[in-house]
């Protein structure tokens, strides 16, 4: 294996092409006029290029400000000739997707994918592979259309060594291009068979996740009106001399051992995946703690815990909102947190997803781990 822990050299030294060569690729040329382009920093964070053109000020892009421009707007400035290009995918509108294979993937897998008939192919920053494809409408079926209409991504495996990207995702181009012929997706051709295999494969590997998403869609809406804010606020700060009882959730979350075990950029390089993982850890710890207290209380057949402190009194929305508030405290802010999804701030939306994902996953087990918690009707 040619991967040394940071970079993979299986493709050798492929030079970066100048902007005009990059722009001549047929698919790049086709999407060049989309106002979805920018450049990104070393951490793959895109800049507000529209503001940069007007003021010369460089700052991170926020989607509320229409930060992106046409590719030609970037290519006008020779200072950016050797800088990467960023494009925000929208397969819903143009059926363009990317296959992103990480450099840590096995060499034979990287080489196999390099033979795939893509409209554009390049070596990524550390020696992985980017494949850009435009899916002909004739290949979009009732079975696979939801992928291109709604999904952000599909992961090939838990390790994240291969991802398929579709919508609302910023992709980065190194311009280290392969010299590949354009694919011929005419039905019956070899290229068309590759593409049919890919589309069937996407449906297959997404089957379980699709079922989970459909179940999550049936989950109750988040309602802020009936939150027990007195108890929630109590869990956000604790007097130094206060007993543990009454601050039980604060004590299990705001402590060095729990915080040190949260995923960092090394465990989860992808920011969105890292944030969701950490919100899932927070909500799991809340549910685990509440489950233990309810189990103990049931065994004692008493109201040992004060009623206002009792985890039975908290509803699903309370636990979701407390997860959200802890997340805001423990997760580093970024512009995406200002976005809304289904009427909820991004981290609150993700907290709701994490809560119901945990519930669904646990109740599918033969012996649910948190059965006492979920026996409460409001949970």
pLDDT tens digits along 195-226: 999 999 999 999 888 877 777 777 888 888 88
In the chain, DSSP assigns E strands to: 37-38, 85-90, 96-101, 120-123, 129-134, 153-155, 162-165, 167-173, 340-341, 344-345
Within its chain, how far is the Cα of 331 from the centroid? 15
User: Using one digit for the tens of pLDDT, what is the confidence trace for 22-76?
Assistant: 999 999 999 999 999 999 887 778 999 999 999 998 888 887 788 999 999 999 9
Q: Which residues contact 25 (CB under 8 A, 6 or more apart)?
A: 119, 120, 177
pLDDT at 102: 93
pLDDT at 219: 81
pLDDT at 307: 42
Rounded-to-integer distance, Cα 271 and Cα 253, Å: 21
pLDDT at 246: 65
Contact between 276 and 353 under an 8 Å Cβ cutoff? The reply is yes
Q: What is the DSSP letter of 164?
A: E
Q: Return the closest-CA partner of residue 165 out of 124, 225, 193.
A: 124
Average pLDDT along the chain, 379 residues, taken 10 residues at a time: 73 94 97 96 86 90 87 95 94 96 93 97 94 96 93 86 93 95 94 97 90 78 87 82 70 85 75 87 92 78 49 87 93 89 91 90 89 87
Within its chain, how far is the Cα of 122 from the centroid? 23
**HSE of 197, CA atoms in CB hemisphere, 13 A:** 10
* Domain boundary assignment for the chain: 19-215, 229-374
């Amino acid at each position: 294996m040619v991967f040394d822990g940071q970079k993979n050299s299986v493709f050798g030294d492929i030079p970066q092409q100048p902007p005009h060569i990059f722009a001549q690729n047929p698919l790049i040329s086709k999407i060049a006029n989309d106002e979805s382009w920018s450049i990104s920093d070393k951490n793959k964070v895109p800049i507000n290029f529209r503001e940069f053109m007007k003021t010369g000020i460089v700052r991170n892009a926020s989607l509320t400000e229409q930060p992106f421009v046409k590719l030609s707007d970037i290519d006008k400035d020779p200072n950016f000739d050797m800088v990467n290009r960023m494009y925000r995918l929208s397969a819903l509108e143009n059926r363009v997707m990317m296959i992103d294979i990480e450099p840590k993937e096995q060499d034979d897998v990287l080489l196999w994918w390099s033979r795939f008939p893509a409209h554009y192919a390049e070596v990524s920053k550390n020696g992985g592979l980017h494949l850009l494809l435009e899916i002909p409408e004739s290949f979009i079926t009732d079975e696979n259309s939801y992928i291109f209409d709604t999904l952000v991504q599909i992961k090939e495996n838990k390790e994240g060594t291969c991802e398929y990207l579709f919508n609302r995702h910023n992709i980065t181009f190194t311009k280290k291009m392969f010299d590949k012929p354009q694919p011929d997706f005419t039905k019956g051709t070899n290229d068309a068979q590759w593409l049919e295999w890919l589309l069937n494969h996407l449906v297959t590997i997404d089957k379980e996740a699709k079922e989970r998403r459909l179940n999550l869609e049936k989950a109750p809406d988040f309602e802020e009106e009936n939150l027990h804010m007195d108890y929630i606020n109590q869990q956000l700060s604790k007097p130094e001399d206060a007993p543990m009882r009454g601050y039980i959730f604060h004590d299990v979350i705001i402590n060095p051992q729990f915080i040190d075990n949260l995923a960092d950029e090394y465990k989860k390089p992808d920011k969105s995946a890292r944030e969701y993982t950490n919100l899932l850890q927070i909500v799991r710890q809340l549910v685990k703690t509440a489950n233990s207290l309810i189990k103990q209380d049931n065994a004692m057949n008493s109201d040992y815990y004060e009623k206002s402190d009792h985890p039975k009194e908290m509803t699903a929305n309370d636990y979701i909102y407390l997860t959200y508030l802890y997340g805001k405290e423990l997760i580093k802010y970024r512009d995406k947190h200002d976005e809304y999804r289904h009427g909820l701030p991004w981290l609150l939306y993700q907290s709701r997803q994490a809560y119901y994902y945990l519930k669904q996953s646990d109740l599918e087990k033969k012996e649910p781990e948190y059965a006492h918690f979920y026996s409460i009707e409001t949970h």
